[in-house]
Amino acid sequence: MSTATVHHRPWLRFYEPGVPHTLSYPDIAVHQFLDDTAAQYPQAVGTVFFGAQQTFAELQDRAGRFASALRRLGVKPGDRVSLHLPNSPQFVIAYYGALAAGAIVVPFNPLYVEREIEHQLIDSGAEVAVTLDLLYPRLAAVRAHTRVREVIVSAINDFFPPMLRLLYPIKARREGHVVAVPAARDIHRFRDLMEAGAPAGPVRIDPSSTAVLLYTGGTTGVPKGAVLTHRNLVCNVLQARSWFTALRPGQDTMVAVIPFFHSYGMTSAMNFSVATATRMVLIPRFQLDMVLKAINRYRPQIFPGVPTIYSAINAYPELKRYNLSSITACISGAAGLPVEVQKRFETSTGGKLVEGYGLTETSPITHVNPINGVRRAGSIGLPVPDTDARIVDANTDGVGELAITGPQVMTGYWNQPGETAQVLRDGWLLTGDMAKMDSDGFFYIIDRKKELILTGGYNVFPREVEEVLYGHPAVAEAATIGVPDPHRGEVVKAFVVLKEGQRATADDIIEYCRPRLAPYKVPKLVEFRTQLPKSLIGKILRRVLMDEERSRTVSAR
């Protein structure tokens, strides 16, 4: 490696032994991962769902059957198939089956309401929708305004263990969770399609063709579909795989609670596990006791998550009842990882918890701290192999907008050339995140460009204040925003959730911050809440707090 290369990519010096500086990427489609793993580890368990196991060979067979069913329904290469499903065997089967049929997968958040479902269906042009019976009424309410011509419906218990599958309807009726799905020629039962015919021959797919449309969270406007190719996703899975030097294919286990409809869960949990023959313990939604029981029972080594998950584990009063010692590697993504949360989790479990970074537009992984090597507190880590990053328009402190280029970067936004041109410049993606890089190539996210607080002519980055708030012994969660002030333009307001059984006043919080922050960064207002608004993956949504505060200001006029 030349001196010029080291200077250009100082981070390479801090890669762990065994992590290559560059990778060789096969020219394959995403579903080839499943075919290869099923051939090499046919009897290895691929998924565990409420105790029911599915081998990789069974998973491949069912995905092939689903692909054949889609083709019988008239799905052609390039057609869009939407998935309205939680983490479940149905999601994995439908995802790989749709890709094998040459379709483009459009994942949906299962919690979407009718307006959000309608927008995404219309924008993507999806013609086939796969959903749960419990979610069917929302889809049915908007279907007439969309291009959806076929609906495939599954029950959550379709892949439960036999006894639990029989008992579940009784429980569902008792709790009022039974939904009647009408019989119709254009409404199909998931399990019936599985049994209707054997897998057909493969469809030839160009790896440069679109595999997935992943919609951004919409915190900065109307959600846009990031166009991710098979090559984007294959490269990102292999980039992630290279970081786990101690991984044991066919032997290791992962807790998969991060939603697969989100880019983080899709790559870091599902695609990663399938590509590496890692057993996935599927958890359809985050429930703390369910996650802890799964770790205790299945002894996973890998546990990707978000800060709020690790924070909830830290705060659980009966944590010692569970054996979490099997965990060796946890990658935290989707939001900044407070240093205090990281320290407490590692002390409680003995596992390594490191912060990473990515975006929907980058498949999503771009940066990760070394798992067992040098890591920097508060840093998102180093660019993964074959990824370059730089700071654009930096100020005197070295803070500017983070720009990224690499094989995992999207080709653009679906049918939005104007929006694409704003973020893709000469092969570089402008992330909208304010960041800095130290002399060793470790990157630090300072904050979202649009969430910067401007007070008295000074810039305040919410994450810096939140790091201090998380250090308060009574604080479980915190978020900060700027609120209007007639003299300073804006002042810092903190939203705080206290730990169970703890007490604190606004003055207590403010006084704790005074010696730890410059005066203009200290919160002037503190609001206590029982919970903070979050996305389904657990990311605290400052934008929602900003909108709420804006509504209050308008109402007060």
Q: Specify whether 247 is located in the same domain as 159.
A: no
Beta bridge mates, 494: 480, 526
Q: Specify whether 239 is located in the same domain as 153.
A: no
- SS3 state at 311: helix
Question: For residue 344, what are the CA distances in angstroms to 471, 476, 499?
Answer: 11, 12, 14
Q: Specify whether 503 is located in the same domain as 406.
A: no
**CA 322 – CA 194 distance, rounded (Å):** 38
- The CATH code of the domain that includes 514 is 3.30.300.30
Q: What is the pLDDT of residue 5?
A: 42
Q: Specify whether 314 is located in the same domain as 424.
A: yes
Within a domain: 341: yes
With beta carbons less than 8 A apart as the criterion, state whether 120 and 141 touch: no
Q: Specify whether 438 is located in the same domain as 322.
A: yes
Q: Specify whether 308 is located in the same domain as 358.
A: yes
Within a domain: 150: yes
Q: Specify whether 494 is located in the same domain as 407.
A: no
Q: What is the pLDDT of residue 217?
A: 54
Q: Specify whether 464 is located in the same domain as 441.
A: no
Q: Specify whether 385 is located in the same domain as 526.
A: no
Within a domain: 257: yes
Residues 341-349: contacts with CB within 8 Å, 24+ apart?
341/307, 341/310, 341/311, 341/314, 341/470, 342/310, 342/377, 344/314, 345/310, 345/313, 345/314, 348/313, 348/314, 348/319, 348/324, 349/313, 349/324, 349/325
- The CATH code of the domain that includes 163 is 3.40.50.980
For residue 197, what are the domain limits?
56-205
Domain total of the chain: 3
Q: What is the pLDDT of residue 1?
A: 34
Q: Specify whether 327 is located in the same domain as 264.
A: yes
Among 446, 466, 486, give the residue marking a domain's end: 446
Q: Specify whether 331 is located in the same domain as 432.
A: yes
Within a domain: 42: no
- The CATH code of the domain that includes 331 is 3.40.50.12780
| CA-based R_g, the chain, Å | 24
**CA 504 – CA 461 distance, rounded (Å):** 24
Q: Specify whether 298 is located in the same domain as 420.
A: yes
Among 420, 446, 472, give the residue marking a domain's end: 446
Within a domain: 135: yes
Q: CB neighbours of 440 closer than 8 A, spacing ≥ 6?
A: 10, 11, 13, 14
Within a domain: 115: yes
Within a domain: 220: no
Q: What is the pLDDT of residue 2?
A: 36
From first to last of its 557 residues, the chain has per-residue pLDDT tens of 333 344 589 999 999 999 999 999 999 999 999 999 999 999 999 999 999 999 999 999 999 999 999 999 999 999 999 999 999 999 999 999 999 999 999 999 888 888 889 999 999 999 999 999 999 999 999 999 999 999 999 999 999 988 888 887 777 778 777 788 898 999 999 999 988 878 877 789 999 999 999 998 543 456 899 999 999 999 999 999 999 999 999 999 999 999 999 899 999 999 999 999 999 999 998 899 999 999 999 999 999 998 888 988 988 888 989 999 999 999 998 777 888 889 989 988 888 999 999 999 999 999 999 999 999 988 999 999 999 999 998 888 888 999 999 999 999 999 999 999 999 999 999 998 889 999 999 999 887 667 778 786 667 878 889 989 999 999 999 999 999 887 677 899 999 999 989 999 999 999 999 988 878 889 999 999 999 998 767 788 888 998 888 888 666 65
Within a domain: 40: no
